[in-house]
Structure 1
């Protein structure tokens, strides 16, 4: 019979402090980690309050870091970023604060650079199929449809 390691509140708190210090986490990730550690609901609440009080856990900061990282590294658009933050139960206020980290001019520059690169990589010869591949690529990554359709019309003729 395999027994699961049990933790005291103090041990779990230390473990979660390291978990949150390593990388920004949202409340949902921390709660799931504590459940996986087989902590009881009362202990989970105590630990989360401790992490909040000592600034290990901050959803506004998480949203800002998440948005800037996914935008700059994975080049996700605002729609995808919003969807991913909603999946993590981040409040609308924090989502908007995170999205405010993206400068509008930089957002459009990144989109235009990506669009020009993407058009060159699509090997399709038929115009409509090429447009569809272009549009699908950007819509999946969460770029606004009006930007995507306008750019497809402009670049693929």
Structure 2
């Protein structure tokens, strides 16, 4: 089967497609820009459409950051480090990243960290408590939680036993 040929759109048609793309879910400028280039548009046409999408509030990176950070924390229980790195990788400004981080309540963050530590500790079959602590800590660090908080949570969970 031959490779699928990319479709080329006029700037007007590309704008309509881009509004649908942005209306479906929050997008960053970078994601929209990449999508518009797949439509065979020139750089100036792409930038013109992006400016229009921003003016019409289809693209709002601060809103994206808030939605993304809140969602990844609540649903996937990611830590601040992982969320911040992911937002940075998506090309967001430091201001937008900070706005996203502000969506995470510190008390709920700590409670979530303790809950994850407790669950992982309970499910871990390792008989050696030091090795078990290490495994729980590695799991939490992989989720993107800060090292000092991870060790505080791991020690707190192990004191309860």
Report the equivalent of 1:152.
154
Matches within 5 A, 1:64-143: 64-143=66-145
Give the TM-score normalised by the residue count of structure 1: 0.94
Cα shift at 1:3 = 4.2
1:12 to 14, 30, 35: 14
Aligned partners of 1:138 and 1:148 also within 8 Å: yes
Q: Does 1:28 align with 2:30?
A: yes
Give the gaps of 5 or more residues in structure 2. none
Distance in 2 between the 1:22 and 1:134 partners?
Answer: 37
Deviations 1:48-104 (A, max 9, x none): 011001000000000000001000000011111111101011111111111111111
2:59 to 38, 57, 82: 57
Deviations 1:14-56 (A, max 9, x none): 0000000000001111111112222211111011011001000
Aligned partners of 1:31 and 1:44 also within 8 Å: yes
Aligned partners of 1:25 and 1:57 also within 8 Å: yes
Give the gaps of 5 or more residues in structure 1. none
Aligned partners of 1:130 and 1:156 also within 8 Å: no
Cα shift at 1:118 = 1.2
Aligned pair count?
Answer: 157
Query: Where in structure 1 do 4 or more consecutive aligned residues deviate above 3 Å?
Result: none
SS of structure 2 residue aligned to 1:123:
coil
